[in-house]
Structure 1
Amino acid sequence: MILISGATGTIGREVVRQLTDLDVPLRAMSRGGGGPHGVRADFDDPKSLRRAVDGVDALFLLTAPATATSRHDVAMLDAAREAGVAKVVKLSAIGTGSTTADGRVIGAWHLAGERAVRASGAAWTILRPSSFASNVLRFAAEGRLANLTGDGKQGVVDPRDVAAVAVAALTADGHAGRTYTLTGPELLSVPEQAAQLGQVLGRAVGTVEVPLEHLLGSGMDPAAAEEVTRGTAWVRAGHNAVVTDDVERVLGRPPRRFADWVRDNAGLFG
């Protein structure tokens, strides 16, 4: 039995789909608890977490708190430890633990969560994906992509590949103690993503520059905004121009390209 936390998000939903296709027993955890495999639980309700992990063998740990904190990771891991969950696969983020020139840590709350996973007593695997191809859905408006990262390039990764690596780590041996940095096969800036998006859709897709200060005044939780701003500046400075072969090593095939994801999801753009 596998429990997927964050089961209604981009990656969690895809993990649920792929496990369902494999006929693997699962529970899809969310605050609403809907769907055929749904279980209702809240990271801020320890009793609900204990119910969710009862009888579970493996946990896909995905937390996306409104503020930058590892508290939800720790709460879920505490419940999993009490229930004797044997395996934990945590979704983290690329660059976690890197430091800026002034000594600030990139992905500090993910780093704390990773440490908690390693200390949990379970067999663990940590996934550090790069920027998702699907992020263009959030930023596409009026034919433009919001660009916070300038000409900074990233190994943009297909969410389906991230989920497939998670499924492999959850269902197969040989992944314990591994930290995988998951990227696509090519480095792309936001303007380059806009160009490829436009080619597939058959219409021009421009970009609009958004200053990092916009995040701090956007109404986002201040701690979360600071984390995002720090990470975005890191990308803008060229530090996330990283491509790895971890997806291919785990899945036995090359990762999908950004244009592949766009072609498969073109209908979402109208």
Structure 2
Amino acid sequence: MILVTGASGTVGRHVVQLLQQGGYRARAMTRGRPGHALPPDVDVVRADFDDPDSLRRAVIGVRTVFLLTAPATPTPDHDLALLATARSAEVTSVVKLSAIGTGERFGAATVGAWHQAAEHAVRTSGLAWTVLRPSSFAANCLHWASLIRAGQSVPNLTGDGQQGVIDPRDIAAVAVAALTDSAHAGKTYTLTGPELLRLPDQATQLAQVIGRPVVTADLSPAVARQQLLASGMPSAAVEATVIGSAWARAGHNAIVTDDVERVLGRPPATFRSWAQRHREAFTGAR
């Protein structure tokens, strides 16, 4: 049995689907009603990282865990709680979804500091482990959909910083490989798409796919901080977002690796192919 946390989210739902398609037993952990449809025969367990009893129920009979946490306020606590429960239940291996650049120093800040602490906990857990560090998700652009349909500009927090934008389905496919093949134990994979793109490049490609303009508006880190705080985002989450965006803006995420191809035996998908698959999300047309 493989436990998938974050099972109804951007990456987790694809992990569940691929495991099911491959004939593996998957248990989907969700905190509430799944935000996306899960396969009808998947074992779904309701659990919360802040509820130890629910975590104990979630790991019963589990051999391997896909560890994806997305707390509203950045903290490694959820990772630590699941790892402690997994060890007590004799889980044997874990695949941790982290983020590119984790642990890098940027001025006085550390990029992905909470992921860094969680990665350390994974590597010292006594379980067989694999760490995945994906670059910027192509699916982040789905947040633009309502703005584009309303003819408004898309905020650009990363300026002309290039990123190896990756399709979440490729992240999920690598995760499934790591969950089901011990050859990936002890590896840290940096997962990127096949090309470097600025956010305006993504906007241009998306505009070509959907047949309508996609205009970007550059936001400095200071302005981005003000707007995010005004939106009600927790201050710690705002700081993590601003640090990561400024790090990418400064060119530190201009990285393309061959890790996806080495694991899957095929090149990663392009941003354009992702946009074509999600065209109706931006146009409302089927």
The equivalent residue for 1:15 is: 15
In structure 2, distance between residues paired with 1:219 and 1:72: 22
Query: SS of the counterpart of 1:146?
Result: strand
Paired residues for 1:37-186 under 5 Å: 37-102=43-108, 104-140=109-145, 141=147, 142-143=150-151, 144-186=153-195
Amino acid at match of 1:202: G
Amino acid at match of 1:199: Q
In structure 2, distance between residues paired with 1:123 and 1:111: 18
* Residue 231 (str. 1) matches residue 237 (str. 2): no
The question of whether the paired residues in 2 share the 8 Å contact of 1:49 and 1:76 is answered with yes
In structure 1, distance between residues paired with 2:15 and 2:64: 13
The equivalent residue for 2:200 is: 191
- Unmatched tracts of structure 2, length 5 or more: none
CA-to-partner distance for each residue in 1:138-164, whole Å, 9 max, x for gaps? 133134422111111100000000000
In structure 2, distance between residues paired with 1:239 and 1:121: 32
In structure 1, distance between residues paired with 2:230 and 2:133: 28
The question of whether the paired residues in 2 share the 8 Å contact of 1:212 and 1:233 is answered with no
Provide TM-score, normalisation by structure 1.
Answer: 0.96
Matched residue count: 269
Q: Give the superposed CA RMSD.
A: 1.2
The question of whether the paired residues in 2 share the 8 Å contact of 1:96 and 1:108 is answered with yes
Paired residues for 1:219-258 under 5 Å: 219-258=232-271
In structure 1, distance between residues paired with 2:77 and 2:182: 29
The equivalent residue for 2:272 is: 259
In structure 2, distance between residues paired with 1:226 and 1:205: 27
- 1:33 is displaced (CA, Å) by 6.1
In structure 2, distance between residues paired with 1:21 and 1:205: 36
In structure 2, distance between residues paired with 1:227 and 1:208: 21
CA-to-partner distance for each residue in 1:20-68, whole Å, 9 max, x for gaps? 1112101000112665421011100111101100110100000000111
In structure 2, distance between residues paired with 1:73 and 1:226: 20
